[in-house]
Every structure is written in C-alpha cells, then in structure tokens.
Amino acid sequence: MNSLIRSTARCLRSGAAVYPPRQADGRVWSASARFLCASAGLQKDLGQMVKKDKVVVFMKGTPAQPMCGFSNAVVQILRMHGVDDYAAYNVLEDSELREGVKTFSNWPTIPQVYFSGEFVGGCDILLQMHQNGDLVEELKKLGISSALLEAEKESK
Amino acid sequence: MLPTVLRCVRPISTSLALSRPLAHFRPPMDPDPSRPIERSIRSKLTDALDPVHLEVHNESHMHAVPPGSESHFRVLVVSSQFEGLPLIKRHRLVNEALKKELSSCVHALSIQAKTPEQWRSDPSLAKSPPCMGGSRGDHTVEEKLKAGRE
C-alpha cells in the first residue's frame, strides 16, 4: 500500500511540478502552455504507471473503499481471482489524473484496467472476461494463478 | 415500463450474479421524445453499427443523480459488425459513435456488444452493479448534468 501512495504522490507531484513563468506583477501568463506541459508530463507518467505493475486499475475510491459500483465490481472480480496485489489509482483525488487517463487510454469512463501495460477495458469487459473464463487465461499470462482455478482443482 | 430486474435493490455482495436472462418478450422500446440524449444514443448507434437488435436503457434513476437525469446508460448492441472483433474493439466502436454524448452529458455507459450469433445463443441483458453513491457531490457529474439540461 505504501508503494501505491508513493506512486500516486509521484504522479500528483509531476502533474503539478510545472510552474508557469510569472510576470513582475505576479500575473500568470500562458496558462494554456502550463496545462499542456502538465498534461504532457502526466501522459508520460501514465505511460510509466501502467507498466510498473502487472495489474493497474484507475478507479473511483480505493480497493478498501470503492466509491462507485462499477469500480467496486472490478475490485470484487479481482478479489475473487485472488488478485490483491495491484496498483490502484483513485481518480477522485486528482481531477487531472481523471481526465489524463481518459486521454491516455482513449477511453471515456472509469474504471480502467491495465494488464502488463496493455489496456484491457472497463468493468463490462472485465466482467465478461470473468464470466467466459478469459480472465483466468489472461492472469496466467501475467504469471498470476487465479484463486478460482485453485479452488476448482481442490474441488476435484 | 422497464422490467423490475433492471432496478438494483440487492445489497453489495461479493457474488456477482449480474446476468439474468429476461423473458423473450420485451416491451417495445419506443423512444421518448422528452429524452433527447436517449434518442441521440439510439440514433447514433443505429447509424454507426446497423444493429439487428438495440436496447438503450437510461439507468440514471439507479444512481445518485436528480430524477429525470440522462447521465447513466446501459446499451445492448447486436451487430454483425462486431464479428471477429475482440471486446475492446467492439466497445471502442460504440464509444466512438457516442463520442459527443460521452464528452458532454453522459457520465457512465455500460456496454454489451454481441454478434447476432452470440445474441441468439444468449439473449440476456446484463445487470449493472449497485450504485455506491459516487456521483453525489462529484463536480464532474454535476457539469455533465448541467450540459444535459442545456
């Protein structure tokens, strides 16, 4: 969890790290340039964030306290498969992250799930993958053995 | 009236029985003239994907938004254009068709994208998970509700 907090903090810091040049009277100029710099920095950070962990989720709330039914569904599905060690970024804490990830993924809604840096989809797709068995296979490719597979083996 | 199966009244549960087959008869999905976003979604999906079956459900009443909102939708699109496409590409086609709505007034969009064959073998509408109130006090949602009213 500490690494998640550090990761989120790093993301927030880099997003806010570009300070605009100020004129003598203190007015900020080139606000659009600041936005572009900040958003370009964030896009680059997102590229790193989604690759840093095998499973990455951008969600509303946290795995311990989801703030959205769709985000909660993603958390519950992952939990069912025994996937507890993943990076979860709470977009409600950072509006720049919230918009930035939508641009980065070219996907309009939250939650968003990444496996090994590749965008998988949102809640609907993860649910269908869970229902049709594809999720077990995809987790296997990540080197994660689904808890459901283990449970099935034990029952035989 | 929409079947009651679309109303989420169950408490939050770890069991995800979110799919329930409906009776084969469905009430006719007449577009409501007082619901412009729903009409727009229906029209754009029809034009873009030429579906053999299309359902557009306004699920805003299941979420923490004012009555009469058009912010949360579930769509079921059955189209031969989905054949051979993985889920992500199917969903991207739907997102692309509804780009304007998604960037302005639609906050949440649940998608089921089936081929005609998949629809024949499983004519069921998935059910949305229970709302956890995340839209309440969310300024992004408030902006979208405002855009929907204008």
Higher-confidence residue of A46 and B131: namely: A46
- What per-residue confidence (pLDDT) applies to A53? 95
d(CA A33, CA A26): 17
Domain ranges of chain B: 32-121
Question: Which two tokens mark A35?
Answer: 């936005």
CB nearest B134 (choices: A60, A73, A129): A60
d(CA B107, CA B105): 6
Express as a percent the part of chain A with pLDDT over 90.
66
Say if the Cβ atoms of B87 and A122 lie within 8 Å: no
Neighbouring C-beta atoms of residue B87, cutoff 10 Å: 20
Among the listed ranges A23-32, A142-151, B126-135, which one has the minimum average pLDDT value?
A23-32
ipTM score of complex:
0.74
Express as a percent the part of chain B with pLDDT over 90.
52
d(CA B95, CA B92): 5
Report helix, strand or coil for A125.
helix
pLDDT tens figures, B68-105:
899 999 999 999 999 999 999 999 999 999 999 999 99
Asked if B80 reaches chain A (Cβ–Cβ under 8 Å), the answer is no
CB nearest B134 (choices: A68, A80, A107): A68
Kindly report the average pLDDT of chain A as a whole number.
81
Instruction: Confirm whether pTM is higher than 0.80.
Output: no
Give CATH superfamily name and number for B32-121: BolA-like (3.30.300.90)
Contacts of B128 in chain A (CB under 8 A): 69-70
Dihedral Cα B31, B36, B41, B46, nearest 10 deg: 50
d(CA A10, CA A4): 10
Asked if B87 reaches chain A (Cβ–Cβ under 8 Å), the answer is yes
Report helix, strand or coil for A11.
helix
Confidence of residue B3 (pLDDT cuts 50, 70, 90): very low
